[in-house]
A and B are shown apart, each in its own frame.
Chain A
Amino acid sequence: MKVTVAKRILKDNDMIADKNREIFRDAGLLAVNFISSPGSGKTTLLEKTIAELLPEQKTTVVVGDLQTTRDADRLVPNALDVAQINTGMSCHLYANQVADSLLGLNISEADYVFIENVGNMVCPGEFDLGENVKVVLLSIPEGDDKVAKYPTIFRAADLVLLTKVDLLGILDFDLERVTNDIKKLNSNLEILHISSVKGQGMNEWVSWLKAKRQQNVGAKAKFITE
Protein backbone atom coordinates (compact mmCIF):
# COMPACT_ATOMS: atom_id res chain seq x y z
CA MET A 1 0.00 0.00 0.00
CA LYS A 2 1.21 3.48 -0.81
CA VAL A 3 0.22 6.30 1.51
CA THR A 4 0.47 9.75 -0.04
CA VAL A 5 1.42 12.24 2.64
CA ALA A 6 2.75 15.51 1.18
CA LYS A 7 3.43 17.02 4.59
CA ARG A 8 6.29 19.20 5.65
CA ILE A 9 8.83 17.39 7.78
CA LEU A 10 9.00 18.75 11.32
CA LYS A 11 5.34 19.68 11.08
CA ASP A 12 4.91 18.37 14.62
CA ASN A 13 7.55 20.73 15.90
CA ASP A 14 6.03 23.61 13.96
CA MET A 15 2.57 22.97 15.41
CA ILE A 16 3.91 23.18 18.94
CA ALA A 17 5.84 26.30 17.91
CA ASP A 18 2.57 27.88 16.79
CA LYS A 19 1.08 27.11 20.22
CA ASN A 20 4.07 28.75 21.88
CA ARG A 21 3.57 31.80 19.71
CA GLU A 22 -0.04 32.03 20.92
CA ILE A 23 1.11 31.81 24.52
CA PHE A 24 3.60 34.62 23.91
CA ARG A 25 0.96 36.73 22.24
CA ASP A 26 -1.57 36.21 25.01
CA ALA A 27 1.05 37.08 27.61
CA GLY A 28 1.83 40.29 25.70
CA LEU A 29 5.53 39.67 25.38
CA LEU A 30 8.22 39.47 22.72
CA ALA A 31 10.00 36.14 22.32
CA VAL A 32 13.51 36.25 20.92
CA ASN A 33 15.46 33.23 19.71
CA PHE A 34 19.23 33.89 19.96
CA ILE A 35 21.26 31.81 17.53
CA SER A 36 25.02 31.69 16.97
CA SER A 37 28.13 29.54 17.06
CA PRO A 38 29.40 28.47 20.47
CA GLY A 39 31.06 31.30 22.35
CA SER A 40 29.98 34.22 20.20
CA GLY A 41 28.75 36.06 23.29
CA LYS A 42 25.08 35.17 23.69
CA THR A 43 25.01 34.77 27.45
CA THR A 44 27.14 37.87 28.03
CA LEU A 45 24.83 39.92 25.83
CA LEU A 46 21.75 38.53 27.57
CA GLU A 47 23.16 39.43 30.98
CA LYS A 48 23.79 43.03 29.90
CA THR A 49 20.54 43.38 27.99
CA ILE A 50 18.35 42.12 30.80
CA ALA A 51 20.03 44.56 33.20
CA GLU A 52 19.62 47.37 30.70
CA LEU A 53 15.88 46.73 30.31
CA LEU A 54 15.31 46.91 34.06
CA PRO A 55 13.49 48.25 35.97
CA GLU A 56 10.74 49.09 33.47
CA GLN A 57 10.83 45.81 31.59
CA LYS A 58 11.35 42.31 32.86
CA THR A 59 12.77 39.30 31.09
CA THR A 60 12.30 35.60 31.46
CA VAL A 61 14.96 33.32 30.02
CA VAL A 62 15.08 29.85 28.53
CA VAL A 63 18.62 28.55 28.09
CA GLY A 64 19.55 25.52 26.05
CA ASP A 65 22.85 24.00 26.99
CA LEU A 66 24.31 20.61 26.16
CA GLN A 67 25.26 19.71 29.70
CA THR A 68 25.91 22.42 32.23
CA THR A 69 23.88 25.00 34.14
CA ARG A 70 26.64 27.62 33.87
CA ASP A 71 24.79 29.93 31.49
CA ALA A 72 21.57 29.70 33.48
CA ASP A 73 23.43 30.53 36.71
CA ARG A 74 24.93 33.65 35.12
CA LEU A 75 21.50 34.93 34.15
CA VAL A 76 19.71 34.33 37.44
CA PRO A 77 20.66 37.62 39.18
CA ASN A 78 18.70 39.96 36.87
CA ALA A 79 16.22 37.76 35.07
CA LEU A 80 12.67 37.37 36.33
CA ASP A 81 13.33 33.66 36.20
CA VAL A 82 15.43 31.20 34.21
CA ALA A 83 14.62 27.79 32.81
CA GLN A 84 17.48 25.55 31.86
CA ILE A 85 17.07 22.89 29.19
CA ASN A 86 19.76 20.26 29.04
CA THR A 87 19.72 19.21 25.44
CA GLY A 88 22.15 16.33 25.90
CA MET A 89 23.15 15.03 22.50
CA SER A 90 20.89 17.35 20.55
CA CYS A 91 22.50 20.40 18.99
CA HIS A 92 19.40 22.61 19.04
CA LEU A 93 16.21 23.28 20.98
CA TYR A 94 12.83 21.80 20.07
CA ALA A 95 9.56 23.69 20.39
CA ASN A 96 8.23 21.13 22.88
CA GLN A 97 11.19 21.73 25.19
CA VAL A 98 10.36 25.42 25.19
CA ALA A 99 6.68 24.63 25.74
CA ASP A 100 7.55 22.51 28.78
CA SER A 101 9.79 25.24 30.20
CA LEU A 102 7.08 27.85 29.82
CA LEU A 103 4.90 25.95 32.27
CA GLY A 104 7.36 26.69 35.04
CA LEU A 105 8.02 30.31 34.18
CA ASN A 106 6.33 33.46 35.32
CA ILE A 107 5.54 34.71 31.86
CA SER A 108 2.53 36.78 32.84
CA GLU A 109 4.86 39.27 34.52
CA ALA A 110 7.46 39.23 31.76
CA ASP A 111 7.85 41.66 28.87
CA TYR A 112 10.34 39.48 27.04
CA VAL A 113 11.28 35.84 26.76
CA PHE A 114 14.88 35.40 25.67
CA ILE A 115 15.67 31.95 24.37
CA GLU A 116 19.38 31.16 24.16
CA ASN A 117 19.65 28.35 21.66
CA VAL A 118 22.45 25.79 21.66
CA GLY A 119 25.62 27.14 20.04
CA ASN A 120 25.25 26.01 16.42
CA MET A 121 24.72 27.86 13.15
CA VAL A 122 22.85 25.13 11.29
CA CYS A 123 20.34 22.98 13.18
CA PRO A 124 18.60 25.73 15.22
CA GLY A 125 17.53 27.21 11.89
CA GLU A 126 15.44 24.13 11.16
CA PHE A 127 13.40 24.29 14.37
CA ASP A 128 10.86 27.02 14.91
CA LEU A 129 10.36 27.57 18.63
CA GLY A 130 7.46 29.96 18.26
CA GLU A 131 9.66 33.01 18.68
CA ASN A 132 8.64 36.36 17.24
CA VAL A 133 12.13 37.18 16.06
CA LYS A 134 15.38 35.37 15.37
CA VAL A 135 18.51 37.28 16.30
CA VAL A 136 21.70 35.83 14.84
CA LEU A 137 25.02 36.74 16.45
CA LEU A 138 28.32 36.74 14.62
CA SER A 139 31.40 37.59 16.66
CA ILE A 140 34.49 39.19 15.19
CA PRO A 141 36.87 36.33 16.20
CA GLU A 142 34.83 33.86 14.13
CA GLY A 143 35.95 35.48 10.91
CA ASP A 144 34.36 37.40 8.04
CA ASP A 145 33.53 34.33 5.93
CA LYS A 146 30.72 33.01 8.13
CA VAL A 147 27.81 34.60 6.28
CA ALA A 148 28.99 32.94 3.09
CA LYS A 149 29.42 29.64 4.93
CA TYR A 150 26.07 29.62 6.73
CA PRO A 151 23.77 31.62 4.47
CA THR A 152 20.59 29.85 5.53
CA ILE A 153 20.63 31.03 9.11
CA PHE A 154 21.41 34.61 8.08
CA ARG A 155 18.58 34.55 5.57
CA ALA A 156 16.21 33.48 8.35
CA ALA A 157 17.42 36.23 10.71
CA ASP A 158 15.36 39.27 11.69
CA LEU A 159 18.46 41.01 12.96
CA VAL A 160 22.20 40.36 12.84
CA LEU A 161 24.29 41.39 15.81
CA LEU A 162 27.95 41.70 15.03
CA THR A 163 29.40 41.06 18.49
CA LYS A 164 32.78 41.69 20.16
CA VAL A 165 33.39 44.68 17.88
CA ASP A 166 35.93 45.89 20.45
CA LEU A 167 38.22 43.37 18.72
CA LEU A 168 37.77 44.92 15.27
CA GLY A 169 41.09 46.79 15.27
CA ILE A 170 42.93 43.82 16.71
CA LEU A 171 41.79 40.99 14.47
CA ASP A 172 41.75 40.88 10.71
CA PHE A 173 38.08 41.20 9.83
CA ASP A 174 36.65 42.59 6.61
CA LEU A 175 33.44 44.35 7.65
CA GLU A 176 32.52 45.16 4.08
CA ARG A 177 32.61 41.51 3.12
CA VAL A 178 30.08 40.65 5.80
CA THR A 179 27.85 43.57 4.86
CA ASN A 180 27.94 42.63 1.19
CA ASP A 181 27.29 38.96 1.84
CA ILE A 182 24.25 39.87 3.95
CA LYS A 183 22.96 42.34 1.34
CA LYS A 184 22.91 39.52 -1.20
CA LEU A 185 20.76 37.38 1.09
CA ASN A 186 18.37 40.00 2.42
CA SER A 187 18.92 43.63 1.48
CA ASN A 188 16.58 44.79 4.25
CA LEU A 189 18.33 42.94 7.05
CA GLU A 190 19.62 45.26 9.74
CA ILE A 191 23.11 44.74 11.23
CA LEU A 192 24.01 46.22 14.60
CA HIS A 193 27.54 46.41 16.01
CA ILE A 194 27.80 45.42 19.64
CA SER A 195 30.42 45.10 22.31
CA SER A 196 29.09 43.68 25.52
CA VAL A 197 32.33 44.48 27.34
CA LYS A 198 32.66 48.08 26.14
CA GLY A 199 28.94 48.78 25.95
CA GLN A 200 29.09 49.90 22.34
CA GLY A 201 25.84 49.57 20.42
CA MET A 202 23.79 48.70 23.50
CA ASN A 203 21.42 51.65 23.11
CA GLU A 204 20.57 50.85 19.53
CA TRP A 205 20.09 47.20 20.34
CA VAL A 206 17.80 47.89 23.29
CA SER A 207 15.82 50.38 21.18
CA TRP A 208 15.47 47.76 18.46
CA LEU A 209 14.09 45.29 21.01
CA LYS A 210 11.64 47.79 22.47
CA ALA A 211 10.40 48.77 19.03
CA LYS A 212 9.96 45.14 18.02
CA ARG A 213 8.06 44.42 21.18
CA GLN A 214 5.80 47.38 20.59
CA GLN A 215 5.22 46.29 17.02
CA ASN A 216 4.47 42.69 17.99
CA VAL A 217 2.35 43.05 21.05
CA GLY A 218 1.05 46.51 20.15
CA ALA A 219 -2.42 46.97 21.51
CA LYS A 220 -2.02 43.82 23.58
CA ALA A 221 0.74 45.41 25.64
CA LYS A 222 0.26 45.08 29.35
CA PHE A 223 -1.60 47.76 31.17
CA ILE A 224 -0.03 49.02 34.30
CA THR A 225 -2.77 49.14 36.89
CA GLU A 226 -2.57 52.02 39.28
Chain B
Amino acid sequence: MHEMSIAVGLMDQVLEIAKVNGLKEIDEIEVETGFLRQVIPEVMQEAFLAVRRETIAQNATLKIVEIAPLSECNICKKQFEPQLNDFLCPECQKADVKVLKGDEIILKSIQGKESK
Protein backbone atom coordinates (compact mmCIF):
# COMPACT_ATOMS: atom_id res chain seq x y z
CA MET B 1 0.00 0.00 0.00
CA HIS B 2 2.97 2.34 0.40
CA GLU B 3 4.02 1.84 -3.23
CA MET B 4 2.02 4.89 -4.27
CA SER B 5 3.86 7.12 -1.78
CA ILE B 6 7.14 5.73 -3.02
CA ALA B 7 6.19 6.16 -6.68
CA VAL B 8 5.29 9.81 -6.10
CA GLY B 9 8.65 10.42 -4.41
CA LEU B 10 10.43 8.57 -7.16
CA MET B 11 8.79 10.56 -9.93
CA ASP B 12 9.59 13.92 -8.28
CA GLN B 13 13.20 12.90 -8.12
CA VAL B 14 13.32 11.51 -11.66
CA LEU B 15 11.84 14.64 -13.20
CA GLU B 16 14.24 16.85 -11.27
CA ILE B 17 17.25 14.85 -12.42
CA ALA B 18 15.99 14.75 -16.01
CA LYS B 19 15.72 18.53 -15.99
CA VAL B 20 19.22 19.02 -14.62
CA ASN B 21 20.59 16.66 -17.27
CA GLY B 22 18.58 18.13 -20.14
CA LEU B 23 16.50 15.04 -20.93
CA LYS B 24 13.37 15.68 -22.99
CA GLU B 25 12.06 12.15 -22.82
CA ILE B 26 12.68 9.31 -20.38
CA ASP B 27 12.86 5.72 -21.62
CA GLU B 28 13.87 3.70 -18.60
CA ILE B 29 14.14 4.15 -14.86
CA GLU B 30 16.02 1.63 -12.77
CA VAL B 31 15.44 1.23 -9.04
CA GLU B 32 16.76 -1.14 -6.41
CA THR B 33 14.30 -2.06 -3.71
CA GLY B 34 15.57 -3.53 -0.48
CA PHE B 35 13.65 -6.64 0.55
CA LEU B 36 12.89 -5.17 3.97
CA ARG B 37 10.99 -2.29 2.44
CA GLN B 38 8.32 -4.71 1.24
CA VAL B 39 7.80 -3.17 -2.16
CA ILE B 40 5.64 -5.50 -4.23
CA PRO B 41 6.87 -5.18 -7.86
CA GLU B 42 3.42 -5.57 -9.45
CA VAL B 43 1.91 -2.94 -7.16
CA MET B 44 4.87 -0.65 -7.73
CA GLN B 45 4.44 -1.00 -11.50
CA GLU B 46 0.76 -0.06 -11.18
CA ALA B 47 1.64 2.97 -9.10
CA PHE B 48 4.30 3.93 -11.61
CA LEU B 49 1.75 3.84 -14.45
CA ALA B 50 -0.31 6.36 -12.51
CA VAL B 51 2.51 8.79 -11.71
CA ARG B 52 4.19 8.76 -15.13
CA ARG B 53 1.02 10.04 -16.81
CA GLU B 54 1.37 13.39 -18.57
CA THR B 55 5.07 13.68 -17.80
CA ILE B 56 8.15 13.26 -19.98
CA ALA B 57 8.25 9.72 -18.56
CA GLN B 58 4.85 8.77 -19.94
CA ASN B 59 6.34 6.03 -22.11
CA ALA B 60 9.09 4.99 -19.74
CA THR B 61 9.53 1.53 -18.29
CA LEU B 62 10.44 0.88 -14.68
CA LYS B 63 13.06 -1.74 -13.93
CA ILE B 64 12.93 -3.06 -10.37
CA VAL B 65 15.78 -5.05 -8.89
CA GLU B 66 15.20 -6.51 -5.45
CA ILE B 67 18.12 -6.52 -3.02
CA ALA B 68 18.39 -9.35 -0.49
CA PRO B 69 18.71 -8.31 3.16
CA LEU B 70 21.86 -8.59 5.25
CA SER B 71 22.30 -7.64 8.87
CA GLU B 72 25.15 -7.62 11.35
CA CYS B 73 24.78 -8.49 15.01
CA ASN B 74 25.85 -5.59 17.23
CA ILE B 75 26.92 -8.04 19.94
CA CYS B 76 29.02 -10.67 18.13
CA LYS B 77 29.37 -9.01 14.68
CA LYS B 78 28.07 -12.08 12.88
CA GLN B 79 26.48 -11.27 9.51
CA PHE B 80 23.28 -13.06 8.60
CA GLU B 81 20.20 -12.80 6.42
CA PRO B 82 17.24 -11.61 8.50
CA GLN B 83 13.59 -12.40 7.78
CA LEU B 84 10.92 -9.71 7.78
CA ASN B 85 9.74 -10.92 11.17
CA ASP B 86 12.95 -12.28 12.56
CA PHE B 87 16.17 -10.38 13.24
CA LEU B 88 17.47 -12.79 15.86
CA CYS B 89 21.20 -13.45 15.58
CA PRO B 90 21.73 -17.18 15.06
CA GLU B 91 24.59 -17.04 17.62
CA CYS B 92 23.29 -14.73 20.35
CA GLN B 93 19.53 -15.26 19.89
CA LYS B 94 19.14 -11.50 20.36
CA ALA B 95 17.75 -9.06 17.83
CA ASP B 96 20.21 -6.20 18.12
CA VAL B 97 21.44 -5.52 14.63
CA LYS B 98 22.67 -3.06 12.09
CA VAL B 99 21.04 -3.60 8.70
CA LEU B 100 23.74 -3.54 6.03
CA LYS B 101 21.61 -4.27 2.99
CA GLY B 102 17.99 -4.46 2.01
CA ASP B 103 16.64 -1.49 3.92
CA GLU B 104 16.79 1.13 1.18
CA ILE B 105 15.11 2.05 -2.05
CA ILE B 106 17.63 3.48 -4.47
CA LEU B 107 17.15 5.24 -7.76
CA LYS B 108 20.00 3.74 -9.80
CA SER B 109 19.73 5.35 -13.20
CA ILE B 110 17.60 7.12 -15.74
CA GLN B 111 17.88 6.59 -19.45
CA GLY B 112 16.43 9.03 -21.96
CA LYS B 113 16.79 11.32 -24.92
CA GLU B 114 18.50 14.69 -24.65
CA SER B 115 16.88 17.82 -25.91
CA LYS B 116 18.25 18.55 -29.44
Residues of A within 8 A of B (CB): 1-13, 90-92, 122-123, 125-127, 148, 151-152, 155, 181, 183-188
Contact in complex: B107, A12 (CB < 8 Å): no
Residues A9 and B31 in contact in the complex (CB < 8 Å), given A92-B5, A184-B87: yes
User: Within the assembled complex, what's the spacing in Å between the Cα atoms of A123 and B9?
Assistant: 12
Residues A151 and B85 in contact in the complex (CB < 8 Å), given A123-B1, A186-B96: yes
What is the total number of residues of chain B having a CB less than 8 Å from a CB of chain A?
35
User: Within the assembled complex, what's the spacing in Å between the Cα atoms of A5 and B14?
Assistant: 9
Contact in complex: B109, A2 (CB < 8 Å): yes
Total contacts A-B at CB 8 Å: 94
Judged by DSSP, the binding face of A is mixed
Residues of A within 8 A of B5 (CB): 90-92, 123, 126-127
Residues of B within 8 A of A (CB): 1-2, 5-6, 9-10, 12-13, 17-18, 21, 23, 31, 36-38, 84-88, 94-96, 104-114
Residues A184 and B85 in contact in the complex (CB < 8 Å), given A1-B112, A1-B114: yes
Q: List 12 A-B contacts (CB under 8 A).
A: A1-B21, A1-B112, A2-B111, A3-B112, A5-B107, A6-B108, A6-B109, A12-B13, A151-B85, A152-B38, A185-B95, A187-B95
Contact in complex: A184, B95 (CB < 8 Å): yes
Among B1, B17, B87, the residue within 8 A (CB) of A3 is B17
User: Within the assembled complex, what's the spacing in Å between the Cα atoms of A148 and B109?
Assistant: 34
Among A3, A90, A122, the residue within 8 A (CB) of B109 is A3
